[in-house]
């Protein structure tokens, strides 16, 4: 994503990805895919297509960090917005938290709309870290998120009627 300062409102700014997020450690406590359970006490979030890859009963694997957390699949380029306690599965998952000037939902929506060139199964986090992101004032971020969620709700209702 290439952002030119002249293309954004004067009250907005741009910031580097590293200033927008904090990386959270999983302390190496990942759940191997072969150990996923079909049901369990803790959902396992990995870089797969679905939000939840499986479950575990390992309480030591649960991420102990304030929620929400944005999960980035370093190989798949998928972002997931997680608002519930979870464990990490699979290698190549980065755990991100929005810094204080961000509405976490707004940051998630923006990250979902950045273009990261597909490098196959290579790692993509190094390219994500080079991005600049658009930072509106917090009240504007909230307004944008509310509008997006209203539109998504309308879309879901329309699909349900099909």
Q: Retrieve residue 58's tokens.
A: 């390992």
Q: What is the pLDDT of residue 4?
A: 57
Q: Retrieve residue 82's tokens.
A: 């997680």
Instruction: Indicate the helix (H) or strand (E) that contains 72.
Output: strand 69-73
Q: Where are the domains of the chain?
A: 7-161
User: Cα(98)–Cα(155) distance, rounded to whole angstroms?
Assistant: 27
Q: What is the pLDDT of residue 152?
A: 87
Q: What is the pLDDT of residue 162?
A: 83
Which residue ranges of the chain lie beneath pLDDT 70? 1-6
Cα distance between the two ends of the chain: 35
Residues 135 and 13 sit within 8 Å (Cβ to Cβ): yes
Q: What is the pLDDT of residues 108-154, one digit of tens each?
A: 999 999 888 777 777 788 888 999 999 999 999 999 999 999 998 88
Half-sphere exposure of 136 (CA within 13 A, CB side): 16
Prediction pTM value: 0.88
User: Cα(8)–Cα(133) distance, rounded to whole angstroms?
Assistant: 11
CATH architecture of 7-161: Alpha-Beta Complex (3.90)
């Amino acid at each position: 994503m290439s952002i030119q300062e002249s293309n954004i409102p004067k009250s907005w700014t741009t910031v580097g990805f590293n200033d927008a997020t904090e990386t959270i450690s999983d302390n190496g406590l990942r759940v191997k895919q072969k150990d996923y359970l079909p049901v369990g006490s803790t959902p396992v979030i990995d870089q797969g297509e679905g939000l939840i890859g499986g479950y575990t009963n390992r309480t030591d694997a649960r991420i102990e960090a304030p929620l929400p957390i944005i999960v980035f699949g370093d190989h798949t380029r998928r972002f997931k917005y997680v608002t519930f306690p979870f464990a990490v599965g699979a290698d190549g998952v980065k755990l991100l938290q929005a810094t204080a000037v961000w509405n976490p939902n707004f940051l998630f929506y923006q990250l979902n709309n950045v273009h990261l060139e597909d490098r196959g199964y290579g790692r993509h986090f190094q390219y994500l870290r080079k991005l600049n992101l658009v930072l509106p004032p917090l009240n504007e971020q909230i307004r944008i998120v509310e509008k997006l969620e209203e539109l998504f709700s309308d879309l879901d209702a329309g699909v349900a009627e099909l």
